[in-house]
Amino acid sequence: MELDMKRLLPLLLTLTLYPLTALAQGDVKRGKYIMGMGSCVSCHKTPKRKNADLGGGHAIKTPFGTFYVPNITPDKDSGIGGWSEKQFIEAMTQGVSPEGKHYYPAFPYTSYAKMSREDLVDLKAYLDTVAPIKNAVPDHDLGFPFNLRFMMFGWKMLFFDDRPFAPNPDKSDEWNRGAYIVNGAAHCGECHTARNMFGGLDLSKKFLGNSNGPDKEKIPSMLPKWKLKEYFMALRIGMKPDGDFLGGSMGHVISQTTSKLSKEDLKAISLYLSEYE
Ligand code: HEC
Ligand code: HEC
């Protein structure tokens, strides 16, 4: 039998191009799942306003001053409406705004930089579908010298590792999936790792806890002490092996992120945590 290349070619082209076009448009449903993974709402919400999950204005008190989290709905004036996919990905992975402003690490782009392009494209596709909210957010109220935003350029040179996530070839796919989520979108280390006097994560104490967390919270170590199943339970319903429940900001992480993950993803995280060395 002779293959009719004239007929086969268009079919082959469609098959190879299909994943590319699907990717460029972004998968909205998947994007919503990724937003849960990143707990965007726990910081970008509007206080005392219903259905303004991403409208901004929530204040975060840190040892460096108070941050007023911006509006990331598609509103043209007060939100990020009109941002291109490229600008969004640069903000999330390079910590830089469309005007070239360097972001403070109170925005955990230091972890989001590990997210895959596919995840970010889907996330942007979802954010584009959210109802725009008009809400102009006040400027941050930071002490000297942190009020000088250009200093963040030097900060990034010292403390920001913008390399994408690199899987460990000695570990299983499941372990690597857990590592990707914990160190990327779920940004667990942003709370569970102590910071140096410049606000950089002290990676020699990775995941060992932070006695001076955001809003003066004391954050315990999350290093392995529990079995895989115990991590799974704690992150799914908030119950620790001793029957006590996790609360504080971890309560938000559980309700926004870990309780909403698929069983496979939560198992992957639990595996990564229980084997962490
Ligand atoms: C721990 C709190 C926190 C979380 C979680 C968080 N953000 Fe933010 N985000 C901030 C802060 C604070 C800023 C402002 C940074 C600055 O002004 O330098 C910010 C800024 C931004 C900006 C830039 C907005 C602008 O107007 O320039 C974007 C885009 C953004 N965040 C998207 C997200 C997305 C998407 C998620 C979830 C995947 C997320 N953020 C999760 C705290 C957070
Ligand atoms: C916004 C800050 C924050 C983030 C982000 C965060 N945690 Fe936590 N975590 C806490 C706090 C605070 C506690 C203590 C809660 C309590 O004891 O009630 C805690 C407790 C825990 C504990 C229990 C430790 C113990 O000894 O009781 C585990 C396990 C844990 N977190 C895992 C995670 C994982 C996994 C992630 C990422 C998916 C994560 N955390 C992200 C703040 C955070």
> pLDDT (tens digit, 9 = 90+) per residue, 102-151?
999 999 999 999 999 999 999 999 999 999 999 999 999 999 888 888 88
The 10 Å Cβ neighbour count of residue 138 is 10
3-state secondary structure of 62: strand
Q: Percent of the chain at pLDDT above 70?
A: 91
89 lines ligand 2 (CB under 6 A): no
Strands (E), 69-219: 141-142
* Ligand approaching nearest to the C-alpha of 219: 2
Return mean pLDDT, the chain.
91
pTM reported for the whole predicted model: 0.91
Atom number, ligand 1, closest to the C-alpha of residue 35: 38
What is the Cα–Cα distance from 2 to 186, expressed in whole angstroms?
53
User: So what's the pLDDT on residue 4?
Assistant: 64
Ligand 1 site-directed mutation target among 43, 68, 129, 181, most atoms within 8 Å of CB: 43
User: So what's the pLDDT on residue 120?
Assistant: 98
User: So what's the pLDDT on residue 8?
Assistant: 61
178 lines ligand 1 (CB under 6 A): no
34 lines ligand 2 (CB under 6 A): no
213 lines ligand 1 (CB under 6 A): no
Domain ranges of the chain: 26-164, 167-277
Say which DSSP state 260 is in: G
Q: How far is the CA of 64 from the centre of ligand 2 (A)?
A: 22
What is the Cα–Cα distance from 207 to 213, expressed in whole angstroms?
13
What is the Cα–Cα distance from 84 to 275, expressed in whole angstroms?
39
Q: How far is the CA of 69 from the centre of ligand 1 (A)?
A: 7
34 lines ligand 1 (CB under 6 A): no
What is the Cα–Cα distance from 277 to 272, expressed in whole angstroms?
9
Helix (H) or strand (E) holding 230: helix 228-237
